Amino acid sequence: MGDTRSGPPQPHPGRAIAHTTGASGFRSPHRSDSRPPQTPRGVRRPGLDGRLGTSPPVPGRPTLFLGGLALLFAFLTWQAAVDTPLRRADERLGRAITGSRFPGGAAEFLADLGNFVVAVPVLVAVLAYVAWRARRAGTPRWWLPPLAALVALAAVPAVIAPLKAVVGRAGPPGMEGDGFYPSGHTATAAVAYGAAVLLVLPWLRDAYVRRELTIGCVVLVVAVGFGLIRRGYHWPLDVAGSLILSAMLLITLTVFLRRVGRTGGGRQDGS
């Protein structure tokens, strides 16, 4: 005769309990050892602000992007170094911008923002502020992000000067000598202002402020390049090549700052 005693139902191995959290039954979709499943979305790494991301980043994406920029820069450098249809079109565009009705005084002011004596003090002031905030917050290796920004800025003349000598491009009418490609003023503005924004962004709580600051930096750098062309200091191709080179330096700096933030070398919570 079967057992007719009353009592709670007893679990049967291999059935519904196999689908509960932490079960180790046959074909259980959960891990009893608390490890994540072996799927691309199983590991959700925390983002820069400590929140979970949707999936791990694609390996090598910054490297591929940098490679594409390097190829584009190499192409523009070749076009600037020899007489090509693109170079002739670039010179026609430069003469048209120089002869435009945009106020020369405003263009001169924008061009001056790419001066070493203007852009570098802005970056130094931001470096001092970020270093003070990070040290006050007890951030380990608080000095690494400011140092990395200084290295990125120091790389500008170290890269620009040899390129100017190798390409030897003549300047617009009225400018004597050669060595105008790529534009050093554009690169100084882009790296100095861009590095300053990259350092201060993690300390800003408001996402709207971070976005507007980033957009403002991009507009400012483009305006500096336009001012240089309008005043006849550089050809458009000089500015374009410099912007691409600066983007490569800033992307490298961004990758480094993210790694430092993940290893405890910088605050990323905006507090």
Per domain, the residue ranges of the chain are 61-262
Mean pLDDT of 120-148: 95
DSSP 201: G
pLDDT at 191: 98
> What percent of the chain has a predicted confidence (pLDDT) above 90?
69
97, pLDDT greater than 80:
yes
141 CB neighbour count, 10 Å cutoff: 13
Task: Compute CA distances 226 → 103, 104, 106, 107, 231, whole Å.
Answer: 12, 11, 11, 7, 9
Q: Is the pTM here over 0.85, yes or no?
A: no
φ, ψ dihedrals at 149, nearest 5°: -65, -40
Q: Higher pLDDT residue, 162 or 47?
A: 162
pLDDT at 15: 47
226 CB neighbour count, 10 Å cutoff: 20
pLDDT at 45: 45
- Tens-digit pLDDT profile for residues 202-249: 999 999 999 999 999 999 999 999 999 999 999 999 999 999 999 999
HSE value, Cβ hemisphere, 13 Å, CA-based, for 48: 18
Average pLDDT of every residue of the chain: 83
Query: Helices 116-136 & 144-167, crossing angle to 10 degrees?
Result: 160
The answer to whether the peptide bond before residue 182 is cis (omega within 30 degrees of 0) is yes
